[in-house]
Amino acid sequence: MQIHSKLPEVGTTIFTVMSSLAVEHNAVNLGQGFPDFMMNEDLIALVNDAMKKGFNQYVHMNGLPLLRERLAEKVEKLYQTKINYDTQITVTPGGTYAIFTALTTVLQPGDEVIVFEPAYDSYIPNIEINGAKPVLISLKYPDYSIPWEEVKAKVNERTRMIMINSPHNPTGAVLNENDIIQLRNIVADTNIIILSDEVYEHLIFDDIQHQSILRYPDLLERSFVCFSFGKTYHCTGWKLGYCISSAEMMKEYRKVHQFNCFTCDTPKQVALAEYIKNKEAYLSLGSFIQKKRDFFRELMKTTPFKLIPSHGSYFECYSYSHFSNEDDKTLAIRLTKEYGIATIPVSAFYKHATDNKVLRFCFAKKEGTLEKAVAKLKHLH
């Protein structure tokens, strides 16, 4: 049977391609972003407990009320913004789904969405599958900051959304207060909705304050803000996240959500509602992961790669144009096959592959893993 493809230009995601190649060649996987260390044992025990206590049936379609209540308390403590847990938060099966649902809720055929590249690889297909048009703007190389003048120039009456992501995947760039001011000026007096991907909310380094949209009630009124428990609690395989918006926009969001997955994993929500009371678990995350970044940085000094500093996320990018002309995909594949280390070529985060000769490395790994990986790179030629 023939299917008329809705995504004719799309192949298999680079994360799956590189992880499969890593398995095939028994390589150390610094490609796909996931920790190789154990998540918290207490949280595992709480899930087990919840299952034994019988929390195994459908939970409320918007998410376990107690979990949403505690999330609202957390938001108020962290960002001094009061949100209504009943009307403004929906628990989702992961951050990717939270983003897809926001785009599907809003977009009509022909709408334009401003996307900054390099972009997390689900954004553009998610826009296109809704019949809308991604308007691509390259972040300034090499600091990957937003060229706001270009944004202003590209906004028009068809612009429906602007997508932001801080801390940023794949570069680890973070937005500052001035970025928020620029964004506010651009959206003022328009119908533009902001989609803010904040899955790395707590993975921010160097004492930088995360510029969450949740700090700015005037912007939250026109935003969908997406999170992932997988990143916060080192359990990416749980695929659980949530979205926060205004009550009015969330009402529409839930219409889409209820006929897609309807509701998410119950025992994990019960466990998270309890575990989230442990503030240290998320407040200490930045320094915990920063230590890994710093450790990795030191190791990488012994290789020919040139650092592009990351201030957040699981990732740090390195350029290699000073020692090789190879395109980044070819190099990433060669490193996996010949040197036993998998990375992600950053050109994969552009619709029209832009090759600045940069590879992304995931440093959310055990020190031993990072040592093993970098030792392989020392022989690079």
Within residues 94-123, the interface with ligand PMP by CB under 6 A covers 94-96, 120
Contact between 35 and ligand GLN per CB under 6 A: no
| Residues 105-164 within binding reach of ligand GLN (CB under 6 A) | none
Size of interface with ligand GLN, in residues (CB under 6 A):
5
Residue nearest ligand GLN by beta-carbon distance:
33
DSSP type of residue 336: I
CB 19 within 8 A of CB 31: yes
**Least distance between ligand GLN and beta carbon 72 (Å):** 26
Backbone angle region of 211, left / alpha / beta, with phi > 0 → left and psi within -120 to 50 → alpha: beta
Give the rounded distance of the alpha carbon of 351 from its chain centre: 17
The one-character DSSP state at 154 is H
> Would you say 170 or 286 has its CB closer to ligand GLN?
170
33 binds ligand GLN (CB under 6 A): yes
> Residue for token digits 């391609």?
17
* Binding flag, residue 13, ligand GLN (CB under 6 A): yes
Does position 35 interact with ligand PMP (CB under 6 A)? The reply is no
241-245 and 306-308 strand pairing: unpaired
CA distances (Å), 250 to each of 62, 145, 160, 163, in order?
10, 30, 17, 17
Give CA–CA dist 171/308, Å, rounded: 8
Binding flags for ligand PMP, 139-178, as an x/- string (CB under 6 A): --------------------------x---x---------
350 binds ligand GLN (CB under 6 A): no
Binding mask 325-344 for ligand PMP (x = CB under 6 A): --------------------
Q: Is 87 in the site for ligand GLN (CB under 6 A)?
A: no
Q: Rounded to whole angstroms, how far apart are CA atoms 149 and 258?
A: 39
Residue nearer to ligand PMP on the CB measure, 70 or 168: 168
Answer yes or no: are the C-beta atoms of 374 and 360 closer than 8 Å: no
Single out the residue of 29, 32, 126, 369 in contact with ligand GLN (rule: CB under 6 A): 32
Q: Least distance to ligand GLN from the beta carbon of 274, Å?
A: 26
The structure tokens 């009550």 sit at 247
Q: Footprint of ligand PMP on residues 338-377 (CB under 6 A)?
A: none
Written as six digits, the tokens of 275 are 């575990």
Nearer to ligand GLN, 34 or 275 (CB): 34
Q: Does 312 bind ligand GLN (CB under 6 A)?
A: no
Give the integer Cα–Cα distance in Å for 341 and 120.
22
For ligand PMP, give the closer residue by CB, 91 or 377.
Answer: 91
Q: Which C-beta is closer to ligand PMP: that of 362 or that of 377? A: 362
Q: Residue 302: enclosing H or E segment and its boundaries?
A: none
Q: Which helix (H) or strand (E) holds 315?
A: strand 315-319
H or E segment to which residue 89 belongs: strand 89-92
Binding site for ligand GLN (CB under 6 A): 13, 15, 32-33, 169
